[in-house]
Amino acid sequence: MPLTRRNFAKRSALTGASVALAGSVGVLATAPGAVGEEAPDAGPEGTQDGRDTGYGPLLPDPDGILALPAGFSYRIITRTGVTTLESGESTPSNHDGTATFEGPRGATLLVNNHELKGPRADWPHPVPLAGGLVYDPAAAGGCTVVEVSHDGSHVSEWVGLAGTSTNCAGGRTPWGTWLSGEETEDKAGEHGMTRDHGYVFEVDPHDQKANRDPEPVKALGRYPHEAVVVDPKRGRVYLTEDASGPNGLFYRWTPPEGFTHGRGKLRTLADDAGVLAAPKCFDSGGNFVDDLSRATKVGTVYGVDWVEVPDRDARTVPVRKQFKDGEVTRARKLEGMWWADGGAYVVSSYAREESPVQHDGQVWFYDPRRRTLTLKVRFGVNPDPGKDGAFDGPDNISVSPYGGLIIAEDGQGIQHLFGATEDGRTYPIARNELNIGTPDKPEFSEFTGPVFSPDGRTLFANIQEPGIMLAITGPWKRIRRAR
C-alpha cells in the first residue's frame, strides 16, 4: 500500500512534534555550519562548543601524508606506482569505495574500487586485464582484493574485476560479497568502449573462480551508480546516483516474489527482474518535495512513495530523465550509503546552482518500516574551504563500532576524515597532507572508503589520488553523547 500524501499528512497531524524525530534513532542532529539548529560554529579542531570531542588536535606528519591525533599511527597498505599485485603489475590508481571481510587465519580482506573512467590508454595504472575477469577490455576500471595479515606484516593484492568503468562507492552485501557500481552512462561505441556501461557487478573476495566471466546485474539498472546497500530483512537493494542535468535519484530495487539472496544469486536474475523505483517525497503537510535540498532544518521528515522506473536499461533516455517534473524527488550528488540501525544512511554531498537550495552536504536516514527520510546532518556552505577546521562535502560514510558515523570529506580545499557523534558533534580523525598541486596552489585529493576491520581495531581509508590505502590504528574509544 503506498504511503500517500493524505496518509502521511494525517499521521503527522496525529503525532505532532514527535514526527520530527521519526526514524530508527534521533541522532546526528547538528554539525559545523548546520542549518536550523542553534549550535555554535566548529572550533579549529572540529569541536562544536569547546567540549572535548573525539581524539584531540591533529598533529602534522613529518612524512607529509596523514595528520593524526596524538597516539595514532598509520601504515601504507597499497600505493599506486610503488606496490604491486601478485602478477607484478602496479596497484591501480584512484582508490574509491572499500569494504572489509574476515579472511583466512585472522587476515583482513578488503575489496577496493578504482574510479578510472574511459579508455585504458588514458591512465598510467589501470586495473590489469586479468584472465577471465574482464568485462570490456577497453575500460580501465574495476576493483582489486587486498589481503592484510593479522599483524599487518604481509600484504597481497589481486584483481577481482577488470574492464569496467568509473567504479565508485559500491557496497557490501549481507552474504559477504561486494557490489561494484559504474558511475557512467557510456554505451558501446562511446569514449572507446566496446560494451555498454553503467551497471552493478558482484565480486566475491573469497572465491576468485566465482568472479570469472563477469556480467552486470542489469536488474539494478543502468545509470551513474554510486553506493549500494541491501536490506537484510526485506531483501531490497538501495542505490544512489551521482548525476546532474537533472539531479540524480535514490533508487530501491524490490526482488521478485520467491527470490532468495545469496552468493552469486544476483547473476541469475533476468534483466527485468523485480521492480526498480525512484522516490516521491512529500512533507507533513502533504506537499510534494521536488529536491532534497529543500530541507534546511535538521530533523525534517519526508514521507516516501516509490515510482517504478519505465526503462531501467536506459536504451534511449537516461533513467533520471524518464520522469517529468512533479513525478520524483531528486538530490544533488547522492554519494555514500551505509546500512545500520534498521535503515540506510544516505549522503547528498553538496548542492550548488543545480539545486533549489545550496548546501555543503546532507546525511539522511531512510527508514524502510516507516517509509520516511529524515535529515540527520546538514552542512551550511563553507565560506573558506582553505581554512582548516570546518568540514564540507561528505562522500563515503560508514558507521563506527565506537558510535556515530565516519565520513570521508570530498569538498574544496583541505580534506579530512571526520566523525559525527550520536548527538551531532563532529571531530577530526585525519587530514590529508599530500599536496598533489603546487606550493602556490596546493591541492589535496579526497578521502574515500573509510571502513573498520572486522575486529574494530583498524580504520582503513584511501587517499584517492594518486591512490593510497592506509591503515590507521590508535586508542579508539566509545564516543559518547555530551552530558
- Specify the DSSP element, H or E, that contains 15: helix 5-15
250 and 343 in contact (C-beta within 8 Å)? no
- Specify the DSSP element, H or E, that contains 241: strand 237-241
pLDDT digits (tens), the chain, 483 positions: 555 544 554 444 333 322 222 222 333 333 333 322 323 333 333 333 334 678 999 999 999 999 999 999 999 999 999 999 999 999 999 999 999 999 999 999 999 999 999 999 999 999 999 999 999 999 999 999 999 999 888 999 999 999 999 999 999 999 999 999 999 999 999 999 999 999 999 999 999 999 999 999 999 999 999 999 999 999 999 999 999 999 999 999 999 999 999 999 999 999 999 999 999 999 999 999 999 999 999 999 999 999 999 999 999 999 999 999 999 999 999 999 999 999 999 999 989 989 999 999 999 999 999 999 999 999 988 888 777 778 889 999 999 999 999 999 988 889 999 999 877 688 999 999 999 999 889 889 999 999 999 999 999 999 999 999 999 999 999 987 555
Peptide bond into 2 cis (omega under 30): no
Residue 119 lies in a domain: no
Between CA 176 and CA 114 the distance in angstroms is: 20
What is the pLDDT, as a whole number, of residue 481? 59
Q: Count Cβ neighbours within 10 Å for each residue of 326-363 and write b for 16 or more, e otherwise.
A: eebbbbbbbbbbbbbebbbbbbbbbbeebbeeebbbbb
Between CA 207 and CA 185 the distance in angstroms is: 29
- Max intra-chain CA distance, the chain: 65
DSSP single-letter state for residue 6: H
Residue 174 lies in a domain: no
What is the pLDDT, as a whole number, of residue 27? 37
Residue 59 lies in a domain: yes
- Phi, psi (degrees; rounded to nearest 5) at 11: -60, -45
Task: Give the structural domain span for 454.
Answer: 40-91+385-483
What is the pLDDT, as a whole number, of residue 409? 93
Residue 44 lies in a domain: yes
What is the pLDDT, as a whole number, of residue 21? 22
Q: For the chain, what is the domain count?
A: 1
Residue 474 burial by CB count (10 A; 0-12/13-18/19+): exposed, middle or buried? middle
Residue 418 lies in a domain: yes
What is the pLDDT, as a whole number, of residue 385? 78
Residue 300 lies in a domain: no
Residue 292 lies in a domain: no
Residue 354 lies in a domain: no
pTM for the model? 0.91
CA neighbor of 446 nearest in space, from 411, 471, 418: 411
The residue written with cell numbers 559500491 in the block is 170
How is residue 364 written as a grid cell? 539522511
- Specify the DSSP element, H or E, that contains 9: helix 5-15
What is the pLDDT, as a whole number, of residue 52? 63
